[in-house]
Amino acid sequence: MVPDKKKLKIIEKIRKTIDKFNLLNEGDRVLVAFSGGPDSCALLLILNELKKKYGISLYAGHINHMLRGQDSLEDEKWVKKTCKKFKIRCKAARKNINNLKKKGESLEEAARRIRYETLGKIAKDFKANKIAFGHNRNDQIETILFRIIRGTGEDGLSGIPVLRDLNKHIKIIRPLLETERGKIEEYLKAKNIKPRIDSSNLEVKFFRNKIRHELIPYLEKFNPKIQEGLLKIAQISKENSEYIRQNTRKILKDISQRMPNEIKIDVNKLRNYPRILRSNILREFAKDFKGLDYATLKEIEKIIDSKRANLVLKLSSGIEIAKEYTNLFIRKIKSTSQKSDRENYCYTLVKDSKIFIPTVGKTISVSINKKDKNTVFDFKDTKKIYFDADKIKFPLIIRNKKNGDRFCPFGMKKEKKLKSFFIDEKIPVKERGRTPLLVTKKGEILWIAGHRRSNLAPITKNTRKIIKVLLS
């Protein structure tokens, strides 16, 4: 029997998408999100035909949302029967969306959230590293219009990604995203497969269905090629977003410091960038913190622009935005935050060793070298410090501050309270309790790491060996 040309054509098109975006690799364990509808059905069958070529294992996951009574049960039954016919292992889960919907969530939002959560669990059961969804070219166009109507930036205009991470272990792939819905239906007809049809997809009470059945046909009266135009917008937006994102990540390394449950941003450095880039930098930070929406990011920009030295914005989501002098902190607040901020730590530093300090996410390392004519010192770098090795005895101590701490800053003759130094240097309150101190065994402060050394054991012309301490 000669293979149908329509079947071969669509398989070749999808294969090109897979190769173009490197969606499949040998050894992948792929879970297909199998609703029983035309898209997921075509996806399952096509990947089943291609699994030997790519060397993958294939599984199916079905979620019965329990929204359409007997029809939902019939969908589940059909899915299991189809998987059995093609010898594909399948797992179905029943989730009552109406009962699981959170306050303020629409039915569509709840269904989407539960779908991803449940498929993630099923993928874990099958030890799958990828979940394949059946979103097609038409879904992409509808999504772009949906986001335009609701209001979106360039990221939103990029549309549905063909490849993204669900979590650290599982990726989401969409092999049909460049394939038209009509071609998918032709493929199923050629295969003599009658998929399940969700009658709710025809109901215009759902916003997406209004776009599909009413808005797109209306727009096509003005521009018959409106769909191609929207896809072009998505492609341009995707390229622009990726370029901005790459530059943003480079900037982040220069202006920020990440610590457990907290990010510190140098406000002065951030202000040097154009406002449009600043907005993208803040959005990149927001990815680590749920609850930072568009309105909140605008409030953060106001805090940055304010001339006031100290400002705090507390969100109901358990996030605190704090401007302290020239630093901006975005931190997750816990009921025990006061205690954890002041939790004491103490480490012993021996010769030629290094210590990682989890509280600040930094490492302090020490090395001893001979001094000669070629030795170069960078005394301007506050993260690098030098001492006369003959004037210091090991081991040294790394700890945070204690009540009553005093030291004599380099270049001064009198001691001053550490508390007064922090205030004079405008070191943020939250940072003071965590700042590492390099201390002798006798308790003398040698260095406030990253800020100021003491006048103990300075380098002189008589120095023979050097202790170099580095904060990184």
In whole angstroms, what separates CA 428 from the centre of its chain? 27
179 and 70 co-located in one domain: yes
Q: What is the pLDDT of residue 134?
A: 94
- The CATH number of the domain holding residue 349 is 3.50.40.10
Domain end: 180, 195, 230, which one?
A: 230
- Shared domain for 67 and 169, answered yes or no, is yes
pLDDT at residue number 366: 87
Asked if 349 and 332 sit in the same domain, the reply is: no
User: Residue 271's domain is classified under what CATH number?
Assistant: 3.30.465.60
Domain with 387 in it: 341-471
Q: How many CB atoms within 10 Å of residue 82?
A: 21
Pair 111, 162 in one domain: yes
Q: What is the pLDDT of residue 6?
A: 61
Question: Which CATH number characterizes residue 201's domain?
Answer: 3.40.50.620
What integer pLDDT is reported at residue 472 of this predicted model?
81
One domain, residues 195 and 226: yes
The Cα-based distances of 173 to 42, 61, 63, 117, 135 in angstroms read 15, 15, 18, 16, 10
Look at residue 220 in the predicted model and tell me its pLDDT: 92
Give the count of domains, the chain: 3
Looking at this protein, which amino acid is placed at residue 121?
K
pLDDT digit of tens for each residue in the chain (472 aa)? Answer: 445 666 678 899 999 999 999 999 999 999 999 999 999 999 999 999 999 999 999 999 999 988 888 888 999 999 999 999 999 999 999 988 888 888 878 888 888 899 999 999 999 999 999 999 999 999 999 999 999 998 887 788 889 999 999 998 999 999 999 999 999 999 999 888 898 887 666 665 667 888 888 999 999 999 999 999 999 999 999 888 888 888 888 888 888 887 777 888 888 888 888 887 888 888 777 777 766 777 777 888 888 888 877 777 777 667 778 888 888 888 777 654 444 445 788 888 888 777 888 777 788 888 888 887 777 777 777 788 888 888 888 888 888 888 888 888 887 878 888 888 888 888 877 788 888 888 888 888 888 888 888 888 888 888 888 888 888 8
| Judgement on whether residues 352 and 467 belong to the same structural domain of the protein | yes
Q: Are residues 316 and 172 in the same domain?
A: no
Give the pLDDT of residue 334.
62
Same structural domain, 90 and 46? yes
**Which of 290, 322, 337 lies at the terminal end of a domain, its last residue?**
337
Q: Are residues 317 and 365 in the same domain?
A: no
Domain boundary among 173, 200, 230: 230
Give the predicted TM-score (pTM) of the model. 0.64
Instruction: List all residues 6 or more positions away from 10 whose beta carbon is below 8 Å from its beta carbon.
Output: 42, 46, 179, 183, 184, 186, 187
Is 28 found in the same domain as 174? yes
How far apart (Å, rounded) are the C-alpha atoms in residues 384 and 450? 8
433 with 447, same domain? yes
Do 303 and 408 belong to one domain? no
